[in-house]
Amino acid sequence: MANKTNEIISWIKKTCGDKQVVIGVSGGVDSALALTLVTKALGKEKVLPMCLPYKKQDMSDAKLIIDWNGYGREYQEINIEKIVDDTANLLSIDDDLRRGNVMARTRMIVLFDTAKKLGGIVCGTENKSEHHLGYFTRFGDAASDIEPIASLYKTEVLGMAKELGLPEIFCTKKPSAGLWEGQSDEDEMGFSYEVADKVLQGKFDGIDPKVVELVKDRVEQNKFKLEVPYMLD
């Protein structure tokens, strides 16, 4: 895993050069690891962490990893409540999924606008498992200029986080996109990332065939997300 870590850090240096990098930090392990890697690669002077809570969303873990990486108060926090609620009211949105998509896309508007102001780029936090499962919002959390952990399955993200010594909370808390109160990735999908990663790699031994099909069905149902926009050649 150490070789992979060094490979990613070298890639970030080569890809970003002298550009300023803006990254949204949610408090989950994905953004915690991505922030740590870009910080190691570029130094704090070239990275702007941003916390983008909705209403009174708990950002204590996000601030923990920001501080752990040595930023102190050198980050920005913008509450997206007004933008999200105004949009939801305008469009008569009354379900969690649509509102969650608006939240994810609002966060990317803020990140990209900030990057534009700084003449920089946006760092994403998507992992390989989410990508193949389609567990992302198009033009929302999947929008970015660089994706440092996109080659890592979720279980590999956890392994690298442990190897780098990130605070234990990031390796033990339930994965959540934070799109509504009590939301959990694994509860929503109906299987764990540990199981999903095995299925995605073709390792079916010891896994309930019904769960294998559940993972495969999700991949198939969300395959269009990796294909759009459709274009005429």
- How far from each other are the two terminal CA atoms of the chain, in whole angstroms? 41
**DSSP state string for 90-125:** HTT--SHHHHHHHHHHHHHHHHHHHHHHHT-EEEP-
CA distance 48 to 101: 24
Question: Which residue, 147, 133, 159, 194, is CA-closest to 4?
Answer: 159
CA distance 112 to 20: 12
The predicted model scores a pTM of: 0.93
Please state the length of the chain. 233
Q: What is the pLDDT of residue 186?
A: 78
Q: What is the pLDDT of residue 175?
A: 74
Q: How many CB atoms lie within 10 A of CB 224?
A: 11
> Structure tokens of 97?
């999924």
What value, to the nearest 5°, has the Cα angle with vertex 151 and ends 146 and 153? 125
What value, to the nearest 5°, has the Cα angle with vertex 29 and ends 28 and 31? 75
Please return the burial class of 124, using the count of CB atoms within 10 Å of its CB with bins 0-12, 13-18 and 19+.
buried
- What residues does each domain of the chain span? 2-226
CA distance 164 to 6: 11
Question: Which residue, 205, 200, 204, is CA-closest to 220?
Answer: 200
Q: What is the pLDDT of residue 179?
A: 66
2-226 CATH fold: Rossmann fold (3.40.50)
Contact 104, 137 (CB under 8 A): yes
pLDDT, one tens digit for every residue, the chain (233 residues):
779 999 999 999 999 999 999 999 999 999 999 999 999 999 999 999 999 999 999 999 999 999 999 999 999 999 999 999 999 999 999 998 899 999 999 999 999 999 999 999 999 999 999 999 999 999 999 999 999 999 999 999 999 999 999 999 998 987 776 666 666 777 778 889 999 999 999 999 999 999 999 999 999 999 999 998 999 88
